[in-house]
């Protein structure tokens, strides 16, 4: 029953903000439009569609806020105006009880706070959607922050994710654009991402790796992790002092070289992606600070490494060459690289892809370089490739989102930032180093023992492969029969699911129509069955019949 009421509250929020208008009615099947008719009883708020979605997610609580943040990382499937609005979602939520925080800390460390810490701050420094942070000092004198996962958050997330799956499957099945937007895949990404964020040892390991990559670097500082006090739900990390990167007045007051600061941000990004192949994928302003020691040579400070990304060696190589080909407006090479990399099917006609890329990119490149968004060009390129059946590349989407964040931040700090002039020589240098003898020798030393170990097995592997090919030829007719039968079964399952889906929509429509009575029930804890509208009972009966006789 609790899950039903939670679903009704979600539906009511969607109706109140008229989120049905986000997808044009013409793109929906007639039966879905019919079930959404009750939504028209409520006037649309005087907000654009991105603002409506943002406010709805904020009203639904921290789990949906996190989901909105994940949606903002998918500009490949979410329209740009909605992504822009979702980027404004904040992690500020009411803190949970400080006494409970202390008890959780003492339980995790199996020791009283006074034994572990010289001093401890009862008031939280920050409160986010899945965790809370307090300050403390170790007995050795180091100032630290303590991060603890909100108690019971896993159960809440699991319940809400199940409901999100239901809504995503409905959108995928009944919206014309459903399959292209891949809502179920987005929810799966969200589930993986948010449960990864709940493992603070994973975040600590990411931070430790990033710190090692930039140790003694003048570009980026990553706080130290105190592993003796870190657990799966508790993280203890060095406390840093710095200016929030979006506090431009404070940066100007201390005489920060804003041009150098913006360019160093771009350099950090390319170093992470191409030299280290390990990049901080959540570099929004809330996670980035600027050290105060040397304003003329500013140094970034990064926190919250729960989300990181990396590329395969092949993706690194093809991405670098794609970027350089775009610099040179060599659209033929861009198209060829997409085919060679496997990002688009090998049967793609290179000439058609080349023409499509030229159509998108040529108007952009007519502007001065400093006015061109590198991230937007990359996003346009991937969208164009999607027309040629390019599959979603999660690692490239994460990188694209990070690049958009970095570029947007750099332009905010220094509006005349020319990202191209910083990126071009870096990519040229990286490709040159990628193919020199030193790199080849390093690869041989790393993989040589494995190659030598497997070399004696090569003849046997070749013979086994030839034998398997012959066996496959013998069973080809049987496979064709199995394929025919599976296709028949698939069509039957599809018909059954379609009828079940319509039944479920009818039940959800009944819940929407019955909302005033349910709302009264929530207020007075007494539900008068006669107060539920007749049409609600009709929709409920229709849904039950369709579910029972869905075959």
As annotated, the active-site residues are 282
Q: Are 330 and 279 in contact (CB under 8 A)?
A: no
- Residues 184 and 181: their CA atoms lie apart, in Å, by 9
* Token output for 327: 């610099």
* Token output for 154: 């896993």
For residue 227, the surrounding DSSP H or E stretch is none
Residue 277, sorted as left (phi over 0), alpha (psi -120 to 50) or beta, turns out to be left
Strand partners, 132: 127, 148
- Residues 158 and 165: their CA atoms lie apart, in Å, by 11
Nearest to 393 by CA among 319, 282, 329, 306: 319
SS3 117: strand
SS3 106: helix
- Residues 16 and 493: their CA atoms lie apart, in Å, by 35
How buried is 486 (Cβ within 10 angstroms: 0-12 exposed, 13-18 middle, 19+ buried)? exposed
| Residue 52 CB coordination number (10 Å) | 22
Question: From residue 199, how far is each of 148, 279, 398 by CA, in Å?
Answer: 10, 19, 20
| Residue 37 neighbours by CB under 8 Å, 6+ apart | none
Our CA angle for 43, 46, 47, nearest 5°, is 120
- Residues 263 and 414: their CA atoms lie apart, in Å, by 9
| Residue 549 neighbours by CB under 8 Å, 6+ apart | 499
């Amino acid at each position: 029953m609790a899950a039903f009421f939670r679903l009704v509250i979600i539906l009511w929020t969607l109706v109140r903000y008229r989120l049905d208008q986000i997808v044009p009615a013409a793109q929906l099947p007639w039966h879905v439009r019919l079930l959404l008719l009750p939504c028209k009883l409520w006037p649309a708020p005087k907000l654009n569609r991105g603002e409506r979605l943002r406010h709805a997610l904020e009203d639904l609580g921290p789990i949906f806020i996190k989901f909105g943040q994940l949606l903002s990382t998918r500009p490949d499937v979410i329209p740009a105006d909605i992504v822009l609005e979702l980027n404004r979602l904040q992690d500020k939520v009411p803190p949970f009880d400080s006494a409970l925080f202390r008890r959780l800390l003492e339980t995790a460390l199996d020791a009283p706070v006074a034994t572990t810490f010289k001093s401890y701050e009862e008031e939280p420094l920050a409160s986010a959607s899945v965790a809370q942070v307090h300050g403390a000092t170790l007995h050795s004198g180091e100032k630290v922050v303590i991060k603890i996962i909100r108690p019971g958050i896993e159960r809440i997330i699991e319940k809400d994710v199940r409901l999100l799956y239901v809504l995503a499957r409905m959108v995928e099945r009944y919206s014309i654009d459903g399959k292209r937007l891949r809502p179920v895949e987005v929810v799966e990404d969200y589930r993986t991402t948010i449960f990864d964020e709940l493992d603070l040892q994973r975040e600590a390991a990411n931070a430790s790796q990033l710190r090692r990559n930039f140790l003694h670097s003048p570009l980026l500082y990553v706080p130290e992790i105190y592993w003796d006090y870190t657990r799966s739900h508790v993280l203890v990390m060095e406390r840093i002092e710095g200016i929030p990167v979006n506090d431009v007045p404070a940066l100007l007051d201390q005489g920060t070289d804003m041009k150098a600061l913006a360019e160093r941000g771009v350099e950090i990004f390319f170093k992470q992606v191409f030299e280290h192949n390990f990049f901080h994928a959540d570099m929004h302003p809330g996670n980035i600070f600027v050290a105060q020691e040397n304003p003329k040579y500013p140094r970034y400070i990064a926190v919250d490494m729960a989300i990181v990304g990396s590329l395969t060696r092949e993706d690194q190589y093809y991405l670098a060459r794609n970027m350089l080909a775009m610099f040179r407006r060599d659209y033929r090479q861009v198209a060829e690289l997409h085919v060679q990399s496997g990002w688009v099917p090998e049967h793609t006609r290179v000439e058609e892809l080349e023409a499509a890329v030229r159509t998108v990119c040529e108007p952009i490149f007519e502007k001065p370089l400093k006015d061109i968004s590198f991230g937007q060009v990359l996003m346009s390129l991937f969208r164009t490739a999607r027309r040629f059946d390019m599959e979603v590349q999660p690692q490239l989407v994460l990188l694209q989102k990070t690049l958009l964040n970095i570029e947007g931040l750099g332009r905010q700090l220094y509006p005349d930032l020319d990202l191209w002039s910083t990126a071009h020589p870096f990519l040229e240098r990286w490709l040159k180093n990628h193919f020199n003898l030193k790199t080849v020798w390093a690869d041989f030393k790393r993989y040589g023992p494995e190659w030598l170990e497997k070399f004696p097995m090569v003849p046997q592997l070749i013979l086994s492969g030839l034998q398997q090919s012959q066996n496959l030829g013998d069973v080809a007719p049987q496979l064709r029969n199995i394929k025919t039968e599976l296709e028949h079964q698939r069509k039957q399952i599809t018909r059954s699911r379609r009828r079940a889906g319509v039944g479920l929509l009818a039940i959800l429509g009944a819940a929407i129509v019955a909302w005033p009575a349910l709302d009264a029930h929530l207020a007075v804890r007494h539900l008068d069955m006669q107060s539920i509208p007749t049409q609600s009972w009709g929709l409920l009966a229709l849904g039950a019949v369709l579910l029972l006789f869905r075959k």
